[in-house]
Amino acid sequence: MSSPNKSALPTHILDEIRELPARYPQPRSAVMPALDLAQEELGHLTPEAMSEVAEALSLDPGYVEGVATFYSLFHHQPIGKHRFYVCTNLSCMLRGANEVVDHLKQAIGVERSDQVSSDGLFSFEEVECLGACEYAPMMRLDHRYFYDLNDQKVDALVAERRGKPVVTAEKPKPKRVPRKKPGG
């Protein structure tokens, strides 16, 4: 346990947060970018971190928590080092997203979105449409989109992040280039 005097956020992050309000027409707009910095540092937003953000921005802690709990990209519990955000909305569901989720759960050994794999590496969440429906089923992972998902692709992504070589019977596909001919 940390001592009561020790702050949740390091000084340089708090300094950065204090500089944010000047960038906006009104200081309150800094609350989301500030929470972003805090979450990037800690992985998720603890009550202490939200209080420190509030103090740095001269806002009410309850207000900051109110904002932080509204938006689904802010996490309030520990998440894995790599979090799989798998779209299961209609366009992806029609192309097998539920099966992708089932396979992913097995591959990382996690059943629910509020759990983290025992090695701390992985967690997942089913999310709403991510706006890449022509590549369904798809997901977001480590600030990137991954397309045309299937069991093999999920296995490869997990294995890469475990640092183990990817075992696959298929030979690697040649890199695809955009079609030259007009398509539509």
Which region, judged by CB under 8 A, interacts with another protein, from 4-12, 40-48, 67-75, 152-160? Answer: 67-75
CA-nearest of 160, 153, 155, 161 to 82 is: 161
105 binds another protein (CB under 8 A): yes
Rg (Cα) of the chain, in Å, rounded?
Answer: 20
Query: DSSP character for 141?
Result: E
* Residue in 10, 66, 109, 120 binding another protein, rule: CB under 8 A: 66
The residue among 69 and 150 lying less far from another protein, judged by its C-beta, is: 69
Q: Which ranges constitute the DSSP H helices of the chain?
A: 11-19, 31-42, 47-56, 61-68, 90-93, 97-108, 151-162
Q: Report the distance separating Cα 120 and Cα 123, nearest Å.
A: 8
- In the region spanning residues 8 to 27, those forming contacts with another protein, defined by CB under 8 A, are 24-26
- In the region spanning residues 117 to 146, those forming contacts with another protein, defined by CB under 8 A, are 124-136, 140, 143-145
Contacting residues toward another protein, per CB under 8 A: 24-26, 28-33, 35-36, 66-67, 69-74, 85, 88-91, 93-95, 98-99, 101-102, 105, 111-113, 124-136, 140, 143-145, 147, 176-184
